[in-house]
Structure 1
């Protein structure tokens, strides 16, 4: 007996020594994989890039892993209870390893060579997720154990649970429970009820198997099991349990929910930052705050959609997306499934035509809802023939629709829903704060996900007559005045830079004879612009245009420059117009205001060149140069500005246009709105706005750019393949309505902002036909603004050059004539 006990003791001792030796051997083999104390305490979560508006509304998110880290204090108590009941009831009492569960797992690994279930505590799951792969091997399991034991020594239970809450994968690219709450419920964790918290608490075990969207029945069983465990463990009372277990599944696929749609903006930011951060950009947890104003961006989106829809419907109905007559007799579920596969785009929603009667049609939405369209919602749909012609007017709904058609509808204030179609034409809008170039709204096209080509920055199109204000500003700087006379008569140019003789014309072939520059601009007379540039010279004018930010080498070196034959982007045009808007200073458009790290630390803050209206100038002294808070860029004068974030030292924008010249061109462009091709904008009832339409000779590009003293906005419209916009379409009919819709909201509740008039300018009465000083008592005299050196001489006798040409001035009988948008 004694001998037997001795043998057993020796065997036990050898077994213990062997276990120690094996454990030590395993430790030696895996010790390099065990993180140091510093690594444990400096764990960084992979957090996606998030982009916000200036007023902190989410625009977009970039990163393979959706994650929104939260602290332990932000974890809802019911969520913690649900997780512990499902994953690790003894979490607060074990040393990081569940001995009994681990024993079962070890036996399974030894006997089968594979992990078959159980054994992992929350601590072990954290160790595996942060430091190890998911391979199911004996070595990895032991490494996991050693890391878990070390974590329990170095971190508190609350810190470990916080890591778990933020790291664990929960399906649909959601990492962490806060991200899962957004993905499945479109809410934050603190907004979820008990049933919803229990639902996402059941996901860690198997995110795909217990996914409430993909496998609702399994997810429901898992949720109710967790609720039962919580009741059994005393974590919830019976009433709460009963209410939660009876709750229906409310999970949906919300994905990333942005607060404002600005996908072209988000991509511009991502692309710019990628050059600096590379692939780290998608997991470094950066928060980027742009200059975008969420209210203005929403207005821009709506304006683009409405403007394109109006143009598109003017040119006829192109037919349904598809016709599936087999769906008429299909089940409602089959009809819905067919509609779900067709995307909604902006305000356009796909529907199935169920029934067509005399002058009505009944449709079904993907929600299952039915709606009857009245004749007023259909009768616009004359057949599309080409961009200039439509077929005959429909008389019945059957002339337009067939049962089984899948068609788009868009909301209508009066009719609720109206038959529509996705426009084939495109448009782009950019709006700047003209005092510093901050981009407040940007839309690069109708729909980013249909076409990611950003027409604001990437498209180079001819601006037509919207380029003329730059030519006229050059003229005013060279000694011309708003009253200078240019003869609007047929002319032929044999320009050596042109292949053949050039005979420019005005739209409609009409010529006005001797014309004042003010008239020529608001009537957009081509001949005057060409003759004016010919008198000034192309090369000196190209040099002058550098003041607006244009590169002379990228502009045509011939007289067609006067008619906007250059290829420029909407961004370039807006930048040029910003000079006119801010009183003559050059600013640079910018989009990123600041970048913050994962802890909110400032990594970058923009210092835009800014127009100094009420800033305090900074004198460049030796002390200033040694002061790190004073920044000098390109030897520019600096100023201290009052900003919403407090006082800032910023570079002062350089003046590139004489203030007298700038005010005169602004005043002339106000007449474009009052009397000329931009008359539609009078609906805004703003006396401070100025602008210019633009349409190319062949009608392929339509523009409108306009501004007041604070904001400048440019709108371009056209086809990506450069097709003609069609008969009767101009900048004033295609792009101006979009500009008006946007500016109505952008200028809402703002005071008039005029360009400041220099006191040195002088107003005198002139003869409207000749531009000369008016005679005493002349009845048709009008007022004009002049620089002192350009004031016409006083006359004492009637002019022999006066003529009776058909003039249109603000004071004559033709001032209310509606002008066509010439260019």
Structure 2
């Protein structure tokens, strides 16, 4: 027996010696290769990217982590103590390792079959693991964790370590760090938390997904009360405080940051641009982006697009159910789950018809409500309620001003609206489609469609550079073109008929296609394409044939709007931009957009010093350099310089200001008495623009200006199918434009369009370039004898 004891003693000593030797070797081999823990003194916390309107309304948040880093001295004692009591009661006493916890873990490992055992990890060890190590379970990883903890305790203070822990740990529901948890679960700042709330939060990190007070309130309450007991035992609180806190009910609920301005297309534009600038770190570096879009204009744009498309859809009749769901034998929970597979569209909830009988029906809405519908719900469908829907049909409901609901549907057509400040290109409003939840395709920046007759002002302006004027006469009559291959093209006017000799002003007002084709042929295709690039279009996007006169180029609404800013600002090419400023987590402005401005009356402009306005981020905007950046021009979006150039930098003059004035004056007449006469309802004499339609009514446009805005509206179908008979630009797009401008221009003074130097006004009110006046007076007959003197008409054929 004595021999056995001696052998066991020897074996134990050898084992302990061997273990000590092994640990020593491991220590000296691993320690030099451990990470530099002093890096933790300057942690770049992962924080979401947030987006705001120009007037400070919260729009969106991007990023996986919701985190609000907080200094340890700003975290209340009760919150720190709650965490310490449950995670590491001896935190302020140990050297990074809790030997009692380690001994307990070793004993449990030796006496149980569990692969993982509780205990042993201090707050310091958890910080080491969370920042430097993986969650792999191995003795080697555990040993490295312990060494790192010892190293951290030498390099960092206890408060620094605790601060790192409280800002790093996960609390479920995308909340990282104690401050984000307080905000999400209670909608409070840390100093506003009660003792019970602090204890509840302290208990979440152990089971962040399955044990938080929302996912499992019973489990959370049990853990909260245990933490309060631990706090009392450690002397952090009194017995009375413990009992009082334990008696409090669970008041946690989700507190998502409220979206103050719903602008998802704009938010996505910002996200894409930020990733382009800063890479993938853009969405987790805590950047705050302030855009140029005002909430007033954005709300007006969204309302105008929604109402315009709904009106269009009702004109084309009831199509029936969006989908069907078998309601037989299904519980309400099962039906609601199936219904919620449909896109959620604000103001247009999906509704499942549970039962339909005669002129009454019972409907289940996607928010869980049930409604009784009467015969008025079918108004506008042309059918009775039972003729329009049946049990199992999924439709949309629209709430009217009198609080009643009527049947509705997601429009087949889509629309895009973009509004720019012509002075500097600032984006004021953008709507990329009917509903982002149904389609996130941004038609403003990405959809390339034919602008139809809304492109004609660019052709007309090119003709003014070649000697034409608004009073020049061109023949509106049939014409046939034949190419070298023998193909014949016979262009037609939209509404047929011919007007014979007609002034260019009247031709634009009445949108006569044949005049535009003859005019383009007269000034030369190559010349016109080169000239029209001055409006920011790439030459490749402009067709090299006479159909260009009818707007067959493929252009985005953004690029068209940009082109129209040249008319509105007197001939200067500005760059659209939508980010006003970017600030970092400390509130420091790291980027600010100083856009190139038209500023026709700036001293530098008047003095002829525009040298600063020639280059924008390497894009040559001089007369010889136009068209070099085809990628940027095709999208219509440019990249203005950030943090400079100087605030007074000027946009390049791209066309003669006199040409800009002449075409703008003609577009005022389009509203006064032409294809856009409905816009007179705005009662603003500074409103002008041009309608546009394409073959078979596939696209409807209106682009125009007024006050301090240039706005383009496009309506069409994503599948390029026709909108339907009669859906011209003046019917489908113009009402949206009018609704938007009516709201956006409230309080905006009228813009007086003064003729620039070199423009002469004749006795009958026509405008001419000074050098063309005498020639035009010889060619143009008086109004009284116009019909009798058509033999004097200037026919380009």
From 762, 770, 779, the counterpart of 1:788: 770
Partner of 2:794: none
CA contact (8 A) 1:362 1:373 kept: yes
Paired with 1:113 and 1:357, the residues of 2 have a C-alpha distance of 63
Partner of 1:582 in structure 2? 569
Aligned equivalents of 2:128, 2:331: Cα separation in 1 = 50
Q: CA deviation at 1:616?
A: 5.1
**Distance in 1 of aligned mates of 2:336 and 2:69:** 37
Q: Which moved more, 1:462-471 or 1:550-559?
A: 550-559
- Relative distance call for 1:143 and 1:418 in structure 2 (3 A) is same
Residue 218 of structure 1 corresponds to which residue in structure 2?
A: 219
Relative to structure 1, the CA distance from residue 580 to residue 205 in structure 2 (aligned partners, 3 Å threshold; closer, same or farther) is same
> Which residue does the alignment assign to 2:557?
570
Is 2:353–2:392's contact at 8 Å kept on the other side of the alignment?
A: yes
Distance 2:193 2:399 in 1: 32
DSSP 3-state at the match of 2:443: coil
* Separation in structure 2 between the aligned mates of residue 339 and residue 487 of structure 1, nearest angstrom: 60
CA contact (8 A) 2:572 2:653 kept: yes
* Among candidates 721, 724, 727, match of residue 723 of structure 1: 721
Map residues 333-348 of structure 1 onto 2, 5 A cutoff: 333-348=333-348
What's the counterpart of residue 154 of structure 1?
A: 155
Distance 2:325 2:617 in 1: 66
What corresponds to 1:556 in structure 2?
Answer: 543
Q: Among residues 612, 616, 629, which one is paired with 2:599 in the alignment? A: 612
Say which is worse superposed, 415-424 or 234-243, in terms of deviation.
234-243
8 Å CA contact 1:574–1:714 kept in 2: the answer is yes
Aligned length: 758
Q: Which residue of 2 aligns with 1:444?
A: 432
1:58 CA displacement: 4.2
Please say if residues 101 and 121 of structure 2, whose CA atoms lie closer than 8 Å, have aligned partners that are also in contact: yes
User: What is the SS of the residue equivalent to 1:103?
Assistant: helix
Aligned-partner Cα distance in 1 for 2:575–2:107: 69
Give the TM-score normalised by the residue count of structure 1: 0.82
- Does structure 1 retain, via aligned residues, the 8 Å contact 2:451–2:693? yes
Question: Is residue 2:84 matched to residue 1:96?
Answer: no
Cα distance in 1, alignment partners of residues 116 and 189 from structure 2: 35
Displacement after TM superposition at 1:162 (Å): 2.4
Which residue pairs with 2:461 in the alignment? 473
The Cα shift of 1:569 comes to 1.3
1:351–1:409 CA contact under 8 A, matched in 2:
yes
Distance of 2:524 and 2:492 partners within structure 1: 20
Q: Report what 1:763 is aligned to.
A: 761
2:264 aligns with 263
Which whole-Å CA distance do the structure 1 matches of 2:41 and 2:603 have between them? 47
**Distance in 2 separating the partners of 1:322 and 1:798:** 64
Question: C-alpha offsets along residues 39-75 of structure 1, whole Å, 9 cap, x if unaligned?
Answer: 2323333334444444454444444444343333554
Q: Is the 8 A contact 1:608 1:651 kept in 2?
A: yes
Q: Which residue of 1 aligns with 2:787?
A: 803
Matched residue, 1:770: none
Q: CA deviation at 1:682?
A: 2.6
Matching of residues 410-421 of structure 1 within 5 Å = 410-421=398-409
Quote the Cα distance in structure 2 between the aligned partners of 1:58 and 1:74: 26
CA contact (8 A) 1:611 1:652 kept: yes
3-state SS of the aligned residue for 1:462?
coil
CA distance in 1, matches of 2:453, 2:484: 21
Change in CA separation of 1:633 and 1:567 when aligned onto 2, cut-off 3 Å: closer
Shift of residue 463, structure 1, vs aligned partner: 0.4
State the partner residue of 1:105. Answer: 105
Matches within 5 A, 1:281-430: 281-326=282-327, 330-381=330-381, 393-394=382-383, 396-430=384-418
**Residue 536, structure 1, aligned to residue 523, structure 2:** yes
Supply the distance in 1 between the matched residues of 2:404 and 2:32 (Cα, whole angstroms): 67
Equivalent runs, 1:101-180 vs 2, <5 Å: 101-109=101-109, 114-180=115-181
With over 3 angstroms needed to count, the CA separation of the structure-2 counterparts of 1:679 and 1:220, relative to structure 1, is farther
- RMSD over aligned Cα atoms: 4.0
Q: Distance in 1 between matches of 2:502 and 2:204?
A: 77
CA distance in 2 between counterparts of 1:71 and 1:498 reads 77
1:791-820, Cα deviation, whole Å (9 max, x unpaired): 3549999888432899xxxxxxxxxxxxxx
Match in the other structure for 2:688: 690
What do the CA deviations read for 1:382-401 (whole angstroms, capped 9, x no partner)?
xxxxxxxxxxx21x211112
Q: How does 1:615-626 map to 2 (within 5 A)?
A: 615=602, 617=604
1:443 and 1:488 map into 2 onto residues whose CA distance is 38
Q: Distance in 1 between matches of 2:606 and 2:134?
A: 60
Matched ranges for 1:658-737 at <5 A: 658-708=656-706, 710-737=708-735
Question: Which residue of 243, 246, 249 maps to 1:247?
Answer: 249
Tell me the CA shift for residue 305 of structure 1. 2.3
Per the alignment, do residues 674 and 200 of structure 1 end up closer, same or farther by CA in structure 2, a change over 3 Å counting?
A: farther
